[in-house]
Amino acid sequence: MSKALSARYRWGFQNLFNTLGADHPRLAETRILQQHFIEAVNDPAARDDILRNANQLSLELTGKSLEDFCDLAIGVPIQDAAPPHPADADKEILPATYEEYVAWLQPLLDQDRLKLPTVRKAVQARTVQILPNLSPAHKGQVVLFLYEAGLLFVASYSLILAEADLSNVHLVEADLGGVNLSEANMTGANLVGATLTQATLMLTNLTGANLGWGVLPGANLAQAELAGAIMTGADLRMAELTNAHLVKAMLRQADMSQSQLTEVNLLGANLEGAILTQANLTMAKLLWTDFARARLDGVTLTGATYNHHTRWPADFDPDALGATKID
């Protein structure tokens, strides 16, 4: 059976379940038929027999065949075909595991239904709802699944995971170039070696996250919370970090050349050996910041503030570039 045809029947079953409702006395019987269909999807004889039984049962219970429900998924107005809103949790068995979530979402992807606003809103809400119950590894798998499906980019048909619980998410060496995870909660995330080229992480909470040796050129981290984050050796060339909060962040040997660090808070941050060639640190807070052996050629420090605990490279004069000591 082709992937498209298989998706059609899976969606038909889902419409049938929605019509019956969670309290229907024969709901379990229809779910068993669906499971048998999935198991026999590549066995034409068994599959056709199961579909005949499913059509007969559907007619008996609703007056419509399973085929009618399959067609309904294609032609019905979206308010009738969309997955139920999470507020209707008492009327539907919600996906509780990563596997159930993917099985629930895949038919929508197969039929390209995520471009429809009502469907996308329901999927977005369901995604945010399930994430707190998943392990860090499964959270990472959800992110990768949605990313590979083209649903985590800055586009009108993408999902927005603002405030989604991605705490401690495991995405080591993940390739997520261009991903949009603005305003997500990614505290303690493990992103070691991840590729986040031109990613959008505005207002994202990355407190204590490990982005060591991450690849983030051109990434937008404006107003991101990065207190205590580990970014050793990270590639942050031309990154946008305006108003980012990098208190006590570890940025040793990071490449931040040509990055925008206007009004950034680097209190107590370690940038020993970092490259900040032509970086813009206008109005930056640099108290107790360690720039020992950092490369600061062409850096802008207009209005930046520092104290006597701030460490600068040998023979570097921050005052000559407009910085102010506030001891």
Give every CB contact of residue 169 below 8 A, 6+ residues apart in sequence: 136, 139, 140, 143, 186, 189, 190
Radius of gyration of the chain (CA): 26
Q: Which helix (H) or strand (E) holds 324?
A: strand 324-325
Of 207, 162, 156, 158, whose CA–CA distance to 181 is shortest? 162
Evaluate if residue 88 carries a pLDDT over 50. Answer: no
Is the whole-model pTM more than 0.75? no
Evaluate if residue 5 carries a pLDDT over 70. Answer: no
Residue % of the chain over a pLDDT of 90: 59
Provide φ and ψ at 44, rounded to 5°.
Answer: -55, -45
Evaluate if residue 231 carries a pLDDT over 70. Answer: yes
Residue recorded with tokens 């590729």: 195
Q: What pLDDT, on a 0 to 100 scale, did the predictor assign at position 7?
A: 64
Give every CB contact of residue 160 below 8 A, 6+ residues apart in sequence: 124, 180, 182
* DSSP string for residues in 114-163: GGSHHHHHHHHHHHHHHGGGS-HHHHHHHHHHHHHTT-SSSSTTS---TT
Lowest model confidence (mean pLDDT) among 125-139, 149-163, 214-228: 149-163
Evaluate if residue 4 carries a pLDDT over 80. Answer: no
Lowest model confidence (mean pLDDT) among 119-128, 217-226, 239-248: 119-128
* Per-residue model confidence as pLDDT tens digits over 274-309: 999 999 999 999 999 999 999 999 999 999 999 999
Lowest model confidence (mean pLDDT) among 56-60, 95-99, 320-324: 95-99
**Exposure string over 265-302, b if 16+ CB within 10 A, otherwise e:** bbbbbbbbbbbbbebbbbbbbbbbbbbeebbbeebbbe
Find the angle CA(145)-CA(225)-CA(175) to the nearest 5 degrees.
30
Name the DSSP class of 12. H
Distance between CA 200 and CA 160 in Å, rounded? 11
Sequence ranges of the chain with CATH classification 2.160.20.80: 151-327
The domain over range 151-327 is classified in CATH as 3.30.300.30:
no
Distance of CA 76 to the CA centre of its chain: 30
Q: Is 78 helix (H, G, I), strand (E, B) or coil?
A: helix
Q: Which helix (H) or strand (E) holds 47?
A: helix 44-62
Evaluate if residue 85 carries a pLDDT over 80. Answer: no
Q: Which helix (H) or strand (E) holds 305?
A: strand 305-306
Evaluate if residue 16 carries a pLDDT over 90. Answer: no
